[in-house]
Amino acid sequence: MSRNIALPSGFPDPAGLSGSYIAGKWQVAADPQIIEVHNPADAAERVGRVAFADVRLAEAAVEAARAAWPQWRAVPLQDRKHRLAALLRRIEAEKESFARLITLENGKTLREAAAEVDASLAEARFQMDFVAEHLVKKQGGYETRHEPLGVVLLITPWNFPLATVLRKMIPALAAGNTVVLKPSELTPLTAVALFHLMDASGLPPGVANLVLGEGPVVGKALVQHLDVRAISFTGSTVTGLQLARLLDARGVRFQAEMGGANTLVVLADADLEATADAAVSAGFACCGQWCTGTGRVIVEQEKYAEFLPKLLTRLKKMVIGDGRDARVNMGPLISAQQRNKIEQAVQRALAEGARLLCGGRRPADPALQKGYFYEPTLLADVTAEMEAAQEEIFGPVLVAMPARDPDEALALANGTRYGLAFSVYTRDAEKAGKFLREVEAGLCHVNLPTGFRDPALPLLGWKDSGRGWPEAGKYGLEFFTRTKAVYGEPATCSKPERSQ
């Protein structure tokens, strides 16, 4: 069954068919695989239909980007900035439609989707201004120039279908590269909507190309294309490590933001109410499908028994349902497959001796049977050797672990293969300082939720949470350019890319 949804012109029509956007045209493969995108809150509701590209179209996208590069890199910086600013204004003007579309294809609540759109725009504007300001740096009579690389490939996941795309695409284009985007096969429509706006913004054909399709098919073909100069990937650790092995051997510039088993440490002197709020907000936002969300709560033993009921009280108040309903504060999981994975992970945790304090099942409410819902789940008494302590669950499941003292909490925090986001809640600056020095994670917080970020700071997980270059902050520019030291007469150094 398909239901009509109100989307402005250019946004995917549930009854229409969206293809890939290559060389300034919407294109469909000769014998396309047609995929229906359904609302994860109601699998009977069709949100749109897309035609997956084939390897030939993927190659055509790289060729279009290569052909467009000489012209795009020659566009004066201020002009590139002007065009990208126009695109961001169009996104801003359509932000409610974007939020609605993200809710429909991803399942997160409208509030969460609107927050994603706002954060994406803020980060995109930061990146655009940062690139414009730093592309050319005058040092005395000399200059350091950041020159674009050529064709860059952006591969993105489904959990933040707009934020992960703009974070990469805006600095890449502002710096003078041309791009090929391969979004997740589970959330292609947000990318389609974005490219409709790009088309309307009048970017020259081939500057930005969109290839829809499966990772192991078109993703693989794009990664292997010899004209791709750099690859920016966000997704799972399994895929990221596979790409890293392949690309290390070829010497292609690579950045990978991957999974995490993010930890929030609660020391005995912490404000327990504020800490419980932070654990639940970062643990269950986007139904736990948030790369920097909290997966593990490690609590100093003397407050463990007091802290768990505070989590429970909050979880029992959560309202699960369709993200379009303003009363709902947790939507569904992205797919049936993802829900099966979560169910199995919880069953294994219980078999290993974890104690189930709430959730651990699908909701019984008849109104929720058409979606991929799962109750907010709290697993207590998890120990270091259990899989639930070691692996990313990526769903609405919080794992609680007691620790004798701060030293043991630190050892537990560091005792996984991941190192993405971390937070410690304490009133003791010295203890917090020791965690900040010794914790192995790329994003570290004191008395802030693990998901907190500022666009000016870099994003790169340690250990198996990241590979290659960081992204965001100043790395938006650094990753997508190479430097050229220019020694010459100031007059000859002053045009056309001067930014100061």
Distances from the Cα of 211 to the Cα of 37, 120, 201, 406, 485, angstroms: 16, 21, 19, 48, 35
Give start and end residues of each alpha helix (H) in 328-439: 336-351, 387-390, 406-414, 429-438
The single residue among 18, 39, 209, 239 that binds ligand NAD, judged by CB under 6 A, is 239
Task: Using the minimum distance from each CB to ligand NAD, give the nearer residue, 204 or 475.
Answer: 475
Catalytic residue list contains 358: no
Is there binding between residue 190 and ligand NAD (CB under 6 A)? no
Q: Which stretch binds ligand NAD (CB under 6 A): 143-151, 181-189, 190-198, 313-321?
A: 181-189
Taking the complex as a whole, how short is the minimal distance between the CB of residue 167 and ligand NAD, in angstroms? 9
Cα separation of 160 and 206, whole Å?
25
- Closest CB 219 distance from ligand NAD, rounded Å: 3
**SS3 of 401, please?**
strand
Out of 102, 258, 354, 403, which residue is the one contacting ligand NAD (CB under 6 A)?
Answer: 258
Of residues 63, 257, 375, 471, which has the active-site annotation? 257
SS3 of residue 395 by DSSP: coil
Using CB under 6 A as the binding rule, whether residue 157 contacts ligand NAD is answered as yes
**Closer by beta carbon to ligand NAD, 177 or else 239:** 239
Binding mask 196-235 for ligand NAD (x = CB under 6 A): -------------------xx--xx--x----------xx
If we measure between CA atoms, which residue out of 33, 392, 360 comes closest to residue 240?
392
Burial zone of 257 (CB within 10 Å; 0-12 exposed, 13-18 middle, 19+ buried): buried
Q: Among all chains, which residue has been given the structure tokens 């990978």? A: 256
Among 182, 225, 445, 463, binds ligand NAD (CB under 6 A): 182
Q: Which residues touch 110 (CB under 8 Å, ≥6 apart)?
A: 99, 100, 103, 323, 324, 326
Tell me, residue by residue from 449 to 468, as one string, x for binding to ligand NAD by CB under 6 A and - for no binding. ----------x-x-------
Interface with ligand NAD, residue 178, by CB under 6 A:
no
Nearer to ligand NAD among residue 235 and residue 468 (C-beta):
235
Is 214 one of the annotated active-site residues of the chain?
A: no
- We find the least distance from the C-beta atom of residue 421 to ligand NAD, in angstroms, to be 8
Alpha-carbon distance of 166 to 153, in angstroms, equals: 13
Stretch that binds ligand NAD, among 22-30, 192-200, 257-265, 450-458 (CB under 6 A): 257-265
Beta strands in 128-275 (DSSP E): 136-139, 142-148, 151-155, 178-182, 208-210, 228-234, 253-257, 263-266
What minimum distance in Å lies between the beta carbon of 232 and ligand NAD?
11
First-to-last C-alpha distance (Å) of the chain: 57
351-410: contacts with ligand NAD (CB under 6 A): 392, 394
Surface-to-core class of residue 474, CB atoms within 10 Å of its CB (0-12 exposed, 13-18 middle, 19+ buried): middle
Region 278-337 residues binding ligand NAD, contact defined as CB under 6 A: 291
Does 63 interact with ligand NAD (rule: CB under 6 A)?
no
Residue linked to tokens 């100061």: 500
Per CB under 6 A, does 420 bind ligand NAD? yes
Nearest distance from residue 314's CB to ligand NAD, in Å? 23
Cβ-contact 279, 294 below 8 angstroms: yes
DSSP-assigned letters across all residues of 159-182:
SSTTHHHHHHHHHHHHTT-EEEEE
List, in order, residues 6 or more apart from 130 with CB less than 8 Å away.
171, 456, 473, 474, 476, 477
Residue nearest to ligand NAD (CB): 215
Q: CB of 464: closest distance to ligand NAD in angstroms?
A: 11
**Per CB under 6 A, 156 contacts ligand NAD:** yes
Q: Is 52 in the site for ligand NAD (CB under 6 A)?
A: no
Q: Whole-number minimum distance, CB 185 to ligand NAD, in Å?
A: 5
Q: What is the dihedral of CA 139, 77, 167, 244, to 10 degrees?
A: -70
Could you tell me the strand order of the sheet in which 142-148 lies? 136-139, 142-148, 481-487
Provide CB contacts within 8 A for 115, sequence distance 6+. none
Q: Which of 286, 287, 291, 444 is catalytic?
A: 291
* Residue numbers annotated as active site: 257, 291
For binding to ligand NAD (CB under 6 A), which residues are involved?
155-160, 164, 182-185, 215-216, 219-220, 223, 234-236, 239, 257-260, 291, 392, 394, 420, 459, 461
